[in-house]
Amino acid sequence: MNRVFVLSPANCNGVRARCLLGKSSSSNLAQRLRGSGVPLSEVFSFVSSLYFRGKVSYAQTFARPPADCAGIFIITPTMGLVPHDMLIRMSTLRLFSRGAIDVRNPLYCSALQSSAKQLDSEIGGQCEVVLLGSIATGKYLNLLSPIFARRLRVPAKFIVGAT
């Protein structure tokens, strides 16, 4: 069976994100964000450190996407699901930092639902979708479950109270 992964986002308002977004930031990553861009998974790996890197590594190991499909998608506050290797620039990271990952945020909800429906039509009915991210709240699962239905999988370690 084919398998794609959906990764929960990094916090674009945390200390590491604010360092990147600062006008005086001179790190290589900040310079690349101001220039030609950086893959989203690399930016979120920096912002979130080991937690996000672990999700990306796991997904890269176990993804079996259908032909012409990225295999790993990241939830974003304003653009819904985007391929993990999509290049972003500083302006996009700023937009992400202003967007709330919250079911009360209509932009977040509509972007996630619209992009999930598009992904659903691309992958077909025989592809499972694995959500890697906390499901303690409904901010991912409540929006994705109606679209992917029984094909949506959540590893037991991500379920609150799982052993």
Identify any residues that bridge with 132 across adjacent strands, giving them in sequence order. 7
pLDDT at residue 86, as a whole number? 98
Q: Report which of 127, 136, 131, 126 is spatially closest to residue 112, judged by C-alpha positions.
A: 131
pLDDT digit string, tens, across residues 115-161: 999 999 999 999 999 999 877 578 999 999 999 999 999 876 555 54
Domain range for 142 is 2-158
How confident is the model over 92-104, as a mean pLDDT?
94
Question: Does the residue 163 lie in any domain?
Answer: no
Question: Does the residue 64 lie in any domain?
Answer: yes
**CB distance 83 to 73 below 8 Å:** yes
Q: Please say if the pLDDT value at position 43 is more than 70.
A: yes
Residue labelled with tokens 């959500």? 131
Helix (H, G, I), strand (E, B) or coil at 131: strand
∠ CA 25-20-60, nearest 5°, is 135
Question: Does the residue 80 lie in any domain?
Answer: yes
Task: Identify the helix (H) or strand (E) that includes residue 6.
Answer: strand 2-7
Tokens standing for residue 116: 């999930």
pLDDT bucket at 60, cuts 50 / 70 / 90: very high
- Counted domains in the chain: 1
> How many contiguous H segments (helices) and E segments (strands) does the chain have?
7, 7
